[in-house]
A and B are shown apart, each in its own frame.
Chain A
Amino acid sequence: MNTASSETALSLIQSLETRMVANPFSPSVARLASLYLDEDRFEDARVLCEEGIARYPDYATAHLVLGQCYLGLQRMSDARREFCEALNLQPQCELARTLLREMTPTTTVDLPMETAVAEDWVQVSPKHSADEIVTPTLAEIYADQGAYQEAIRTYKLLVHRKPEERERFGQRIRQLEEIWRLLTPPS
């Protein structure tokens, strides 16, 4: 970055900062945060985005920028979560999709699965007998780890064991499958 453009960036940052102070509810958080990002000020950007999202939880761009802050801070699972949220709010957001796809192979252990994800989600391989571990807590731990297949399988086992919760778990399974499909490059 040459000096001239960095100076303009700085003055832009300053003017946006002034605007934020004058109006803390200003939706320009995402813009200011992405300027911080360009300067590698990840922590400043993160704090700003988190505050912005607390005010406007459905602000897709803020989620996208926050995801990039986390990437810069090496907080992979948090980054992954924010990109997913951005996509959830704005399915056509190509940048979120690309970033998500790029980070996944390096951060997750890909596990071979007996059942394809797309199959009926109540169907569970008989190999997983009655005594395998299953709680929503565990499923979410797997999801945080980026092990979506494990998470989906755990939820499937849960549905199997607690049919009365089928609706709630089923909804989560569909969300996770959605992410999983996004991440798997078409063969």
Chain B
Amino acid sequence: MVLILYFFALLTLLLFGVQGFVMVYYHFKNRNEEETADPALLVFPPVTVQLPIYNEIYVVERLIKAACRIEYPKENLEIQVLDDSTDETTTVVARIVEEMVACGFDIKHIQRGTREGYKAGALREGLKTARGEFIAIFDADFVPREDFLRRTMPYFFLDEKIGMVQTRWEHLNTEYSLLTRAQAMALDGHFVIEQAVRNRAGFFINFNGTGGIWRKACIEDAGNWHDDTLTEDLDLSYRAQLRGWRFKFLRNVTSPAELPSEINALKTQQFRWTKGAIETAKKILPLVWRSNLPLRIKLQSTFHLTNNVVFPFILLAGILNVPLVYVKNHGGYETYFALMSIFVVAFIGSLLFYTFSQKEIYPDWRRRLFLFPLFMAGSMGFAVNNTKAVIEGLISKKREFVRTPKYAIEKKGDAWTNKKYVPTRLSFTSLIEFLLALYCFFGVLSSLYFSEIAAVPFQLLFCLGFGFVSFLSFKHAWTARQLRVIRDK
């Protein structure tokens, strides 16, 4: 029984691991296609920059001013601050908006007085009055570059079926901690290989919620923003592409942003992305399969929308690893070794995927790769959190859109600890992660005892992953709680 379950879990992981090879294959296949130089922007139609914010007092000034510095004829650049805040952020926004209006900018402070529909609701509200034919969107943790419009807009004129242009996320605070470095690696993998490959091969890609620009007609034609999933960006992307709109991903144009430096904030972000993707898959995949798209696009879309399903299977593999050591030593299950080697294949697929993504954009990629084991351990450590998200997504549990708090921290020595948005509640998952760390440690000892050396590396990774994630969760929540006590006194 254990063996069958384990085999099934590994098979699923293998399936998605092979996807890593597929991506790397396409990466090399299309690599030699000449990257065309930036086309020149010769016309300047009205553009609206939407800045959806919710209680972002630490970063809102940086965001608004950077948006104002985007190079574009002032008379055709409209900026909408879509402010759903319930704290003093609103006062700060009002002051900056006033300042910028005095400088001659067309900038509006839009408050709805409700958070209905969360980000999707705010974007929809802004769209009603937006005068731009093109809509750029930046979340609060971004610092748009001045050449954003100059480098993205020309693609809309090269091809009138282009509905959205997405830039690559760049990271402002990669070096802050091991946690931010691991995140940078994960995101780079998504952008540099996955988005670039999908886009060139003609598969569907997604708008990443921020750092991209839409043709307004495309948003409207696709049916506008919906708030029935937690990932409104993914949902609208698929609806638009199913309607025949094409997207463009620009790997060489970047939009810099801050990575969450606090683990409980990162957990909520991962939870939202994972659950949202599952919800979107439930909503969109039937439409994809009923459409008359080529089979390879249907298959790739399925992989794209469901790849978070790996988390329950990672968790399962981690748990079953330990009894398997005992099973093997109680009778000749020689297949065990064969199964282990399957896991290695999945691992290599993933390793190649991230190696090439790092190599593509950083000259010091070799140094960065030392982090890969930690990154793997981290993904395993997040399995509990994300498994919960997958299950909730599958059973459609309604949940508030919990946004990721941003603290404007970009280097070591900065501190989120004196900021007020830090989550203080410790979730039950951290306790489970801690117990799993102990359990996997026991597994490592068992493997050593039975001289199953081949099993040790993966068990060790699981043990470290769960240990790392639960330790940080406890530590960050504890620090935050202490600070709240001090503040409340």
Contact = CB atoms under 8 A, between A and B. Distances in A.
Interface in B380-397: none
A75 B256 contact: no
Interface in A137-157: 137-138, 141, 144-147, 150
Contacts of A114: none
Contacts of B416: 131
B125 interface: no
A107 to B, nearest CB: 6
B429 interface: no
B342 interface: no
Interface stretch (B20-28, B139-147, B200-208): B139-147
Q: Label chain A's interface by main secondary structure.
A: loop
A147 B66 CA distance: 9
Interface in B8-60: 40-41, 44, 58-59
B62 interface: yes
Contact of A133 (B74, B170, B172): B172
Contact of A77 (B62, B147, B409): B147
A137 B419 CA distance: 23
- Of A43, A110, A133, A138, which is in contact with the most chain B CB atoms at under 10 Å from its CB? A133
B414 interface: yes
A130 B414 contact: yes
A137 B147 contact: no
A108 interface: yes
Nearest to B105: A109
B413 A130 contact: yes
A179 interface: no
B71 A133 contact: no
B415 A131 contact: yes
B44 to A, nearest CB: 8
B84 interface: no
A46 to B, nearest CB: 9
B146 A76 contact: yes
Given A130-B413, A131-B415, A137 B69 contact: no
Nearest to A46: B40
| Size band of the interface chain A makes with B | 20 to 34
B83 interface: no
A133 B62 contact: yes
Interface string A60-83: 000000000000011111100000
B256 A107 contact: no
A135 B175 CA distance: 10
Interface string B166-199: 0000101101000000000000000000000000
A42 B42 CA distance: 11
Nearest to B61: A111
B134 interface: no
Contacts of A132: 408, 414
A161 interface: yes
A20 interface: no
Contacts of A43: 40
B413 A74 contact: no
B413 A161 contact: yes
A12 to B, nearest CB: 25
B4 interface: no
Contacts of B413: 130, 161
Contact of B411 (A42, A74, A76, A161): A161
Contacts of B256: 137-138, 141
A36 to B, nearest CB: 14
Contact of A138 (B68, B105, B410): B410
A48 to B, nearest CB: 14
Contacts of A182: none
Interface string A99-110: 000000011111
A144 B145 contact: yes
B103 interface: yes
A137 B142 CA distance: 13
A73 B44 CA distance: 12
Contacts of B479: none
B100 interface: yes
Contacts of B105: 109
Contacts of A9: none
Nearest to A79: B71
Contacts of A183: none
Contacts of B481: none
Interface in B122-174: 143, 145-147, 150, 170, 172-173
Residue from A75, A108, A161 with most neighbouring chain B CB atoms (10 Å):
A75
Given A130-B414, A146-B146, A109 B100 contact: yes
A165 B120 CA distance: 44
B396 to A, nearest CB: 39
B71 A107 contact: yes
A135 B173 contact: yes
A124 interface: no
Nearest to A129: B418
A144 B44 CA distance: 21
B410 A108 contact: no
B68 A109 contact: yes
A141 B424 CA distance: 34
Given A73-B40, A131-B409, A137 B172 contact: yes
23 contacts: A74-B44, A75-B147, A75-B150, A76-B71, A77-B147, A78-B147, A111-B65, A130-B415, A131-B407, A131-B415, A134-B410, A134-B411, A138-B143, A138-B172, A141-B66, A144-B146, A144-B147, A145-B145, A145-B146, A147-B69, A150-B65, A161-B411, A161-B413
Interface of B: 40-41, 44, 58-59, 62, 65-66, 68-69, 71, 74, 100, 103, 105, 143, 145-147, 150, 170, 172-173, 175, 256, 258, 407-411, 413-416, 418-419
Given A138-B256, A145-B145, 13 more contacts: A43-B40, A73-B40, A74-B44, A75-B71, A77-B71, A108-B69, A110-B103, A130-B413, A132-B414, A133-B59, A133-B258, A135-B411, A138-B410
- Of all A-B residue pairs in the complex, the 6 with the closest CB atoms, nearest first, are A145-B69, A145-B146, A135-B410, A133-B410, A133-B408, A76-B71
